[in-house]
Structure 1
Amino acid sequence: MTRNWVNPMIYTLIALAIFYVGVQLFTNTSSFLSSIVMMIGIAVLIYGAIYFFFIRQRIGSGGNSNEMKKYKQAVKQSKQKYKAPKPVKSTKTNTSTTKSTSLQKKKAKRKQPSHLRVIEGNKNNKKDRASF
């Protein structure tokens, strides 16, 4: 039952507010516009202060910024590693340039993958299994 009288009261308040804004706009335009600009400015300042002191700290906390830096560094390294080689533009086809490019290709093929490495150990000291 209490909702029956609340809805018309809210609509009445909204209608009166719109009527007041219209009256202020036509009777005292300069002060109305200056007050609107001040309200917008104050709202921006309040939002900026709330964002600066509360929201920004929540976003940066928890190690997220450190993890993001590491992620960006890993992406950068991955792009450098897997980027496609640029085609060589040559107007002259000399035998010396073709030999040098073939040598470069051979060197590139011989290069070991970066994720594999040789582990040094005692390979010459083989145990005699018969002595056990």
Structure 2
Amino acid sequence: MRNWMTPIIYTLFALALLYVGIQLFTNTSSFLSSIAMMIGIAVLVYGAIYFLFLRNRGFGGGGNRTEMKKYKQAVKQSKQKYKQPAPTIKKSSVAKPKVKPSPLGKKTRKRSSAPHLRVIEGNKDKHKNRATF
């Protein structure tokens, strides 16, 4: 089926290009105005379709609003967790002596578990004894 359709399609494309070329050289002003009109109509149709259907779909064309809210919240938490302090710019060229904090005043920081990690409880009694194999 494709073998006999291919030459017909190429012929139609060639005739269309020939017609466009003839119109461009014989009736340039109406050709350019019709091209501009077609582009304008295409932009209007695309804009209408976008604002009516595609705008409310969410991120990447899929998902719904609740998933998008959860994603934005996760991004916000990640940025807060991994944000780095802004580098400070020295205003004076004179170096100030650094004051070392005393080791007694140093507070030990308690390790907290990461919020994105959790322990999955399992049945720990049923471990296989691999020495018997």
Q: TM-score, normalised by structure 2?
A: 0.59
Structure 1 residue 13, shift from structure 2 partner: 1.8
In structure 1, the partner of 2:68 is 65
Q: What displacement does 1:24 show?
A: 0.7
- Per mean C-alpha deviation after superposition, the further-off stretch among 12-21 and 42-51 is 42-51
Q: Are 2:24 and 1:25 aligned?
A: yes
Distance 1:73 1:8 in 2: 57
**Structure whose residues are more often helix by fraction:** 1
The amino acid of 1:110's aligned partner reads: K
1:41/1:86 CA distance change after superposition, 3 Å: same
User: What's 2:9 paired with?
Assistant: 10
State the match for 2:131 in structure 1.
none
Unaligned runs of 5+ in 1: 117-132
Cα-Cα RMSD: 3.2
**1:91 maps to 2:95:** yes
Question: Is 1:56 matched up with 2:82?
Answer: no
Larger radius of gyration: 1
**Structure 1 runs (4+) greater than 2 angstroms displaced:** 2-12, 55-60, 83-90, 111-116
Separation of aligned partners in 2, 1:102 and 1:40: 70
Change beyond 3 A, Cα 1:114–1:49: farther
The total of aligned residue pairs comes to 106
TM-score by length of 1: 0.59
Q: 2:107 aligns with which of 95, 105, 110?
A: 110
Q: Shift in Å at residue 23 of structure 1? A: 0.8
Structure 1 residues 62 and 88: alpha-carbon distance in aligned structure 2, compared to 1, 3 A threshold: closer
